[in-house]
Amino acid sequence: MTKIKRISITWRSFLPVCYKEETNNKPSSPRSVLKPRLSLSDVSITGSPMSISMEDLSTSLVGSNLHIFTLAELKTITHSFSTSNFIGEGGFGPVHKGFIDDKTRPGLSPQPVAVKHLDLEGLQGHREWLTEVIFLGQLRHPHLVKLIGYCCEDEHRHLVYEYMPRGSLENHLFRKYGASLSWSVRMKIALGAAKGLSFLHDAEKQVIYRDFKASNILLDSDYTAKLSDFGLAKDGPEGDKTHVSTRVMGTQGYAAPEYVMTGHLTTMSDVYSFGVVFLELLTGRRSMDKTRPSREQNLVDWARPYLNDHRKLDRILDPRLEGQYSTTGAQKAAALAYQCLSHQCKSRPTMSTVVKTLELLQNFNDIPVGTFVYIAPLETTKEAEKQTEESKKGNGHQNRHDSHHRRGNRHRMRSPRSPTVYSSPSPNDSLTNATNSPRPSHEVKVV
């Protein structure tokens, strides 16, 4: 039997700029794609420095055109992480906007970037940073945010992504002011995010995203959705295993119930989380909202019973849509959300099935056109406006004369904004008119 040789290599040899004794600061060129893909299980973090062991290692860890930036370069492209370039902050740390071109690094095309800085006192740490480098350094898909490079100097950890000009889905869906997302845009975002998850689940080495939520879905200029923040991603089960046992992590309101109870992680956990975000798209509500009445604080518990009832569906759809959505499409979308949110994980559809369903939803064109209402002004309104203009142009004497005239005739003038309604002087007369006259009893004369 042939003995397989295992190569043990220190982490220092892969990320040399993390260590002070490394003196070679020459810009690195993009690295080749690693095949087969290095999985997170190939990395053991047992101490410092960390070590990596994998069979037949022939190339570097990261691969696939990643650039290693120096801290000085990142300060240059972000203007020393100035507050004017600050984009936002999450569990990983603050994010700043920057700009790179061939002056920053030969071969780089001019483009804006987002630079994420690991907060050493934040909720995530070096392992989450490393996880992003491993996954996004090797995975490429139109619906995954592109990782351009990283920086690792001393205790500093940075990630450099493509810049997504429209920010996160969370900012668009739950903002109090500004235009609401249209029905067609919401379906487009749902489809894009679903394609990203489907790609991860169908990969040769399966990936479970584990942190699917509205704030992790970024949008480009034409609302193409891309998944970001892979810090909690896990490799899927291998061989005969049906799940991955892991510590429960994620965001309240998005995690699948069986995962929360048992710690057993599967791709169906992601499907449930997708169902929650899809429900947020349909309702315009957050998955958890403590400001609402107690029975409505948990979105899934409140909305799920309505999803398979066509007569009550409009009660939960986002009122900001103002009825501008496909009725048939809304019913099918609700049915899909209902399946994704099934309490039985085996009853949930796969993400590839979700993608096929959402592709069909893009073709429903029975969105009603809003009714155009024209209110004709009363003649008395025009006359009143004309009199007002004449009174402004007149002299003081004329104004006093008009004022006296109006006071003398105030009982004979009627406000155009409050038209007089004539009705019968007594209930008996009204009843008689309703019986003998061909005119309907509810008709009134407005003058």
The answer to whether the pTM exceeds 0.85 is: no
Span 254-267, average pLDDT: 93
Tokens 């991955």 -> residue: 244
CATH architecture type of domain 169-361: Orthogonal Bundle (1.10)
What is the per-residue pLDDT for 125?
75
pLDDT tops 70 at residue 419: no
- Cis upstream peptide for 49 (omega within 30°): yes
pLDDT: which is higher, 389 or 196: 196
pLDDT tops 70 at residue 242: yes
The secondary structure of 367-415 as a DSSP string is PPPPPP---PPPHHHHHHHHHHHHHHHS-HHHHHHHHHHHHHTTTT---
C-alpha 425/C-alpha 325 separation (Å) is: 48
pLDDT tops 70 at residue 228: yes
The tokens of 90 are what? 């999450």
The tokens of 361 are what? 């939803």
pLDDT tops 90 at residue 261: yes
Span 224-246, average pLDDT: 89
Residues 6 or more apart from 18 whose CB is under 8 A from it? 11, 12, 152, 153, 154
The C-alpha torsion from 131 through 132 and 134 to 138, rounded to 10°, is 150
pLDDT-derived band at 177 (thresholds 50, 70, 90) equals confident
Span 275-301, average pLDDT: 96
pLDDT tens digits for 333-384?
Answer: 999 999 999 999 999 999 999 999 999 998 877 677 655 444 555 555 556 6
pLDDT tens digits for 83-103?
Answer: 999 998 877 789 999 999 988
C-alpha 401/C-alpha 395 separation (Å) is: 10
Residue pair 192/216 in contact (Cβ under 8 Å)? The answer is no
Residue pair 279/254 in contact (Cβ under 8 Å)? The answer is no
What percent of the chain is modeled with pLDDT above 90? 49
What is the per-residue pLDDT for 388?
64
Span 398-410, average pLDDT: 52
Q: State the chain's mean pLDDT as an integer.
A: 78
pLDDT-derived band at 396 (thresholds 50, 70, 90) equals low
10 Å Cβ neighbour count for 280? 25
* Domain regions of the chain by residue span: 13-162, 169-361, 374-385+416-447
pLDDT tops 50 at residue 58: no
The residue annotated as part of the active site, out of 101, 211, 240, 309, is 211
pLDDT tops 50 at residue 413: no
Strand partners, 323: none
Span 287-293, average pLDDT: 94
pLDDT: which is higher, 386 or 299: 299
C-alpha 367/C-alpha 287 separation (Å) is: 27
The tokens of 163 are what? 């810049």
pLDDT-derived band at 160 (thresholds 50, 70, 90) equals very high
Residues 6 or more apart from 131 whose CB is under 8 A from it? 40, 230, 231, 232, 233
pLDDT tops 90 at residue 186: yes
What is the per-residue pLDDT for 439?
44
pLDDT-derived band at 440 (thresholds 50, 70, 90) equals very low
C-alpha 20/C-alpha 154 separation (Å) is: 7
pLDDT tens digits for 15-37?
Answer: 444 544 444 444 444 443 445 66
pLDDT tops 70 at residue 298: yes
The tokens of 197 are what? 């998850």
State which of 248-257, 364-373, 436-445 shows the largest mean pLDDT: 248-257
Residue 251: closest CA among 277, 227, 226, 225: 277
pLDDT-derived band at 70 (thresholds 50, 70, 90) equals very high
pLDDT tops 60 at residue 224: yes
What is the per-residue pLDDT for 64?
58
- Cis upstream peptide for 36 (omega within 30°): yes
- Among the listed ranges 31-45, 182-196, 271-285, 375-389, which one has the minimum average pLDDT value? 31-45
The tokens of 49 are what? 């420095």
pLDDT-derived band at 131 (thresholds 50, 70, 90) equals confident
Query: Kind of pairing, strands 147-153 and 67-68?
Result: parallel
Residues 6 or more apart from 4 whose CB is under 8 A from it? 55
The residue count for the chain: 447
Amino acid letter, 209? Y
What is the per-residue pLDDT for 410?
47
Domain 13-162 fold = Phosphorylase Kinase; domain 1 (3.30.200)
Residue 82: closest CA among 99, 71, 96, 101: 96
Reply yes or no on whether 229 is catalytic: no
Kindly report the backbone phi and psi dihedral angles of residue 18, in degrees, each rounded to the nearest multiple of 5, phi listed first.
Answer: -75, -15
